[in-house]
Structure 1
Amino acid sequence: MLHSVFTVRNLALLVAVMLMIAPVSIVNGQEKGQQAKQETPKRRPNIVFLLADDLGYGDLGCFGQEKIKTPRLDQLARDGMRMMHHYSGNAVCAPSRCVLMTGMHPGHAIVRDNKQIKPQSQFPLPGGTVTLPKLLKEAGYATGAFGKWGLGGEATTGEPMKQHIDRFFGYYCQGVAHNYYPTFLWTNDQQLPLDNPAFPARAKLPAGADINDPKTYAQFSGKQFAPDLIADEAVKFIRDHQGEPFFLFFPTTIPHLALQVPEDGLAAYKGAFPEDPPYDGSKSYLPHRTPRAAYAAMVSRLDSHVGRIFDQINELGLDEDTIYVFSSDNGPLDNRFGGTDTDFFQSKRNLRGFKGSLYEGGVRMPTFVRWKGKIEPGTTSYRVTGFEDWLPTLLDLAGLASAIPELIDGISFQPTLEGQVQPARPFLYREFPGYGGQQSVRVGEWKAVRQKLAQGPAAIELYNIRLDESETNDVAAANPDIVAKLDAIMKKEHLPSIDFPIKGLGDPVPATPAKKK
């Protein structure tokens, strides 16, 4: 049975007291009640956190997907607990990752929106930020991140190596990560050149190109598919650190646009779906002859990468010592943007909203946890949980409850994973300056949402998620007391940000410079 209250320090004190009161006698030079040798402490569990990019609530077979094959992820989910009401940190990638890493909800987090810093960086985490990798590294964990970082680039305080990541391989900047055949990747703090031609991830077909000829699209490919290289390095990290506890953060870029996948993956879906017309690149990102097959093949590619990670851990005999978490950073893209067709795949099932929205479709994620021998297989939880909860939960599971910072918003749901009855979360708060400015809070079955806050104050919409999962019936007018209660929470939980202000919440917003005539 797992434990969170009984810390290592408390255990040591108890043992000392027991030894003082135990009867003592000398036998062959040793005292009864004491062991001749100290027992070797049990290894702390490895933590493998698998994070998809723009994957919808319904994009995996274990969450209802019928067209895309995800056998390895489905099996991992069956072997663990599915979290049916788990929410990403925010509605787009960088602020969502910030919530995950710091345990702070978006009203208190440092990074609250995607904000590019040229040439190739996002708004960085400050130096000294208390993060999950920092706390695990201080407890003796090897820490590795493989994929898209998005929390600070070269020569900033947010670089992975400055944020307690021992080994990094992938993309610093999410803008570069829009191309799966980049000209380089970062290996720690150095650029590794790749054998790929240079082309932008938002290129269009040249005038007069034959959109039905597969050869037309060959110019948007290369020799080295970045996600495969990143998976190789993740597997190598496991081998290199098999003798010590490790934290493997795997924030893959899949299935974020652009639509790109090697031919060997695309072949599995050849002719599987109607593809007329091909995607010509007119709605941003790269064209593709068979966009539906490409999207499905990309998700299946992610599934195979997870399978490789699991197989390596299993081969080394570390399965029972490893916690697996799978989730996504935010919901899927709006239908047919960049060639995607989320309606066709029912990527968000019946949920309202897409990426960039605080409605359910933008922030409720396909999430599961597996720990062989510790978490009951085939179980589900409907407890409301969010990305800020992972920091305390994973530290609890690792026996590091004493390392959990006091001033965080996350609440450990270790008891839920153990199958115990746990009090409901008091509330789950979200805010997002982007996509018009938004704010939401969920308390039990009730969810309040505000939209268009970038323009000024906005009315509260109210939905009963238990009765109206699709958020189609605004019942604010019929429930003024509930609206007032949730409004008070939203006001209390928003800490103004100079870097990410929201006008409708009373934040001072810098004036927009006048355009030159």
Structure 2
Amino acid sequence: MRVRAILIAIAVTVGVAIGKSSSATAASAVPPNIVFILADDLGYGDLSCFGQTKFRTPNIDRIAAEGIKLTTHYSGAAVCAPSRCALMTGLHNGHGPIRENRQWKPQVSEGQWPLPADAVVIPKLLKAMGYTTGAFGKWGLGAPASSGEPLKQGIDRFFGYNCQAVAHNFYPTQLWDNDKTIALNNPRFPAHQKLPETANIKDPATYAGFRGNQYAPDLIGEQALKFIRDNKERPFFLFYPTTVPHLALQVPEESVKPFEGKFPEEPYPGGRGYLPNRTPRATYAAMVTRMDREVGRVMDLVKELGLDDNTIFIFTSDNGPLYDQLGGTDTDFFNSAHAFRGRKGSLYEGGVRVPCVVRWKGKIAPGVESARVTGFEDWMPTLLELVGAADKTPPNVDGVSFAPTLLGKSQPPRPFLYRETPGYGGQQSVRVGDWKAVRQKLNPGPKAKLQPIATELYDLSKDPSETTDVAAQHPEVLARMVALLKEQHTKSDLFPIRALDD
């Protein structure tokens, strides 16, 4: 490992010259590797370390057992693209360039609205520090040939789906390999279908046409492992945004078999989006546990290569679970949203409060839990502080580093956490301590009449399920929250919210 030896020598020389360092890596010879695994639509209750009882996630549980479990962590948004934008830019939805899922149309057939060319994002910052950067899974932050495609946003190696819509099929006909596509040995079929009324919904053969020969998450996982092997001698940032367990419900049969007969089942014939499935509950459990297996493979390889002591593992989800029965899912059965109100697309807790576990052997104490309020925009300053580059944090970010919390040090509470979305009717929310304000119906159709804005208020210490609006009982608290809601929103011509912008 000649490159690492050189880096060690440089680090020692710099350490002597400086005399002391306040960074988390002062005692480390080289900057730590970062493995950031992002699940897709995984709910707060979908991990056994967060209370799931119908299936187990032992490898993710191990990250929690050997590190810290963040019990009050919030995704960047309630849907995919703006959540990833907040993660990458350190900006919340009121300031970020991408605030809702939106397709990118010019000259391409797939992909979402792009990050601007001058966006300051985590991969660019780490790359400037000497990191090799890779992304494996679903990108969703800029169509091919746009300013937001991965290779233009600081990613050295990309493999997977560019477009969220294409990722609805786990057996696609092609995937992106850097800036070119590679063909897969899968038949072409649409990811949204309904069985004919004459179909035998209990016959496994009825569903054979919804599978292929190459399961995309397996191919993506192999490329992620190759990236680790190829870069074992230099610091790397592995961003692993898996498409699991987003719909459609698809997974190889060998993963479904252990769950067949374990749950009461009703075949899903289609009709509520995505693909029919004979055993939807067993398939969902199989998808999550197969994803957990892939997490274990990454952890095992890092250990095998002797990198375990100097690698930060992070696992979380991009938003809450799907609303019940969409595409055959049954989040109520699995208690995916825990006790929280709301699902994907909602700014109530169930849509944005997500599981999060972090492990850094020898630096983060094992078996710790923290209820500190944290969010996706916090990861940029947090990671930069952990790798010894807090001074590289852009001055305008909304994120607040919680590196001290991860390292077992005391830290004042986050002043507030803000979210907004022009989608799902238009919503805003802000959390201050245990108080949370929520607004809805801010963005009705262009011809609909705007209604007076109503602001709900909840005390999450007494009412984590947000069942009782106490705005009338606490006018002073409400006034402070309303002021924050107004202050944190900036107008976006691309993603307007009529009630706030008109």
TM-score band w.r.t. shorter chain:
over 0.9
Structure 2 residue 443 is matched with structure 1 residue 454: yes
User: What letter corresponds to residue 170 of structure 2 in structure 1?
Assistant: Y
Q: Deviations over 1:158-217 (max 9, x none)?
A: 110111100000000000000000000000000010000001110121341110101000
Alignment partner of 1:205 out of 186, 189, 195: 195
Structure 2 residue 99 is matched with structure 1 residue 112: yes
Separation (CA, whole Å) in 2 of partners of 1:414 and 1:9:
25
Shift of 1:75: 1.2
User: What letter corresponds to residue 92 of structure 1 in structure 2?
Assistant: V
Separation (CA, whole Å) in 1 of partners of 2:296 and 2:45:
20
Aligned position for 2:470: 475
Which segment is superposed worse, 138-147 or 449-458? 449-458
Which segment is superposed worse, 7-16 or 438-447? 7-16
Separation (CA, whole Å) in 2 of partners of 1:40 and 1:472:
48
SS in 2 for 1:54: coil
Which structure 2 residues correspond to residues 499-510 of structure 1 after superposition, within 5 A?
Answer: 499-505=494-500, 507-508=501-502
Aligned residues with identical type, % of pairs: 61
User: What letter corresponds to residue 99 of structure 2 in structure 1?
Assistant: R
Alignment partner of 2:233 out of 236, 239, 243: 243
Give the TM-score of the pair, scaled to structure 1.
0.90
Structure 2 residue 144 is matched with structure 1 residue 140: no
SS in 2 for 1:201: coil
Alignment partner of 2:407 out of 415, 418, 426: 418
Shift of 1:41: 7.6
Aligned position for 2:289: 300
Structure 1 residues without counterparts, runs of 5 or longer: 1-6, 17-38, 509-517
Structure 2 residue 479 is matched with structure 1 residue 484: yes
Separation (CA, whole Å) in 1 of partners of 2:248 and 2:434:
36
Shift of 1:11: 6.0
Which segment is superposed worse, 450-459 or 374-383? 450-459
Aligned position for 2:423: 434
Larger radius of gyration: 1
User: What letter corresponds to residue 498 of structure 2 in structure 1?
Assistant: K
What is the aligned-residue RMSD (CA, Å)?
Answer: 1.7
SS in 2 for 1:121: coil
Alignment partner of 1:129 out of 106, 116, 119: 119
Alignment partner of 1:466 out of 433, 442, 461: 461
User: Does structure 1 conserve the Cα–Cα contact (< 8 Å) formed by 2:12 and 2:29?
Assistant: no
User: What letter corresponds to residue 483 of structure 2 in structure 1?
Assistant: A
Shift of 1:14: 4.4
Separation (CA, whole Å) in 1 of partners of 2:340 and 2:13:
46
User: Does structure 1 conserve the Cα–Cα contact (< 8 Å) formed by 2:427 and 2:441?
Assistant: yes
Aligned position for 2:64: 77
Q: 1:312 to 1:210 in 2, by over 3 A?
A: same
Structure 2 residues without counterparts, runs of 5 or longer: 1-10, 21-25, 445-449
Separation (CA, whole Å) in 1 of partners of 2:190 and 2:28:
52
Shift of 1:464: 0.4
Separation (CA, whole Å) in 1 of partners of 2:51 and 2:423:
30
Which structure 2 residues correspond to residues 206-221 of structure 1 after superposition, within 5 A?
Answer: 206-221=196-211
Separation (CA, whole Å) in 1 of partners of 2:37 and 2:258:
24
Shift of 1:9: 12
Which structure 2 residues correspond to residues 188-199 of structure 1 after superposition, within 5 A?
Answer: 188-199=178-189
Separation (CA, whole Å) in 1 of partners of 2:188 and 2:197:
20
Aligned position for 2:31: 44
Which structure 2 residues correspond to residues 354-365 of structure 1 after superposition, within 5 A?
Answer: 354-365=343-354
Q: Deviations over 1:407-448 (max 9, x none)?
A: 100000011011111000000000010000000000001000
Separation (CA, whole Å) in 1 of partners of 2:27 and 2:93:
41
Aligned position for 2:447: none
User: What letter corresponds to residue 464 of structure 1 in structure 2?
Assistant: D
Q: 1:40 to 1:114 in 2, by over 3 A?
A: closer
Give the TM-score of the pair, scaled to structure 2.
0.93
Shift of 1:43: 1.2
User: Does structure 1 conserve the Cα–Cα contact (< 8 Å) formed by 2:43 and 2:355?
Assistant: yes
Aligned position for 2:342: 353
Shift of 1:153: 1.2
User: Does structure 1 conserve the Cα–Cα contact (< 8 Å) formed by 2:175 and 2:184?
Assistant: yes
Q: 1:489 to 1:171 in 2, by over 3 A?
A: same
Aligned position for 1:166: 156
Alignment partner of 1:223 out of 205, 210, 213: 213
Separation (CA, whole Å) in 1 of partners of 2:75 and 2:488:
17
Aligned position for 1:336: 325
Separation (CA, whole Å) in 1 of partners of 2:468 and 2:13:
52
User: What letter corresponds to residue 115 of structure 1 in structure 2?
Assistant: R
Q: 1:41 to 1:66 in 2, by over 3 A?
A: closer
SS in 2 for 1:416: helix
Aligned position for 1:63: 50
Aligned position for 2:167: 177
Q: Deviations over 1:346-369 (max 9, x none)?
A: 001110000000000000000011
Aligned position for 1:102: 89
Separation (CA, whole Å) in 1 of partners of 2:178 and 2:417:
35
Tell me which stretches of 4 or more aligned residues in structure 1 moved more than 3 Å.
7-16
SS in 2 for 1:477: helix
Separation (CA, whole Å) in 1 of partners of 2:481 and 2:13:
40
SS in 1 for 2:472: coil
Separation (CA, whole Å) in 1 of partners of 2:196 and 2:468:
46
SS in 1 for 2:463: coil
Separation (CA, whole Å) in 2 of partners of 1:196 and 1:446:
50
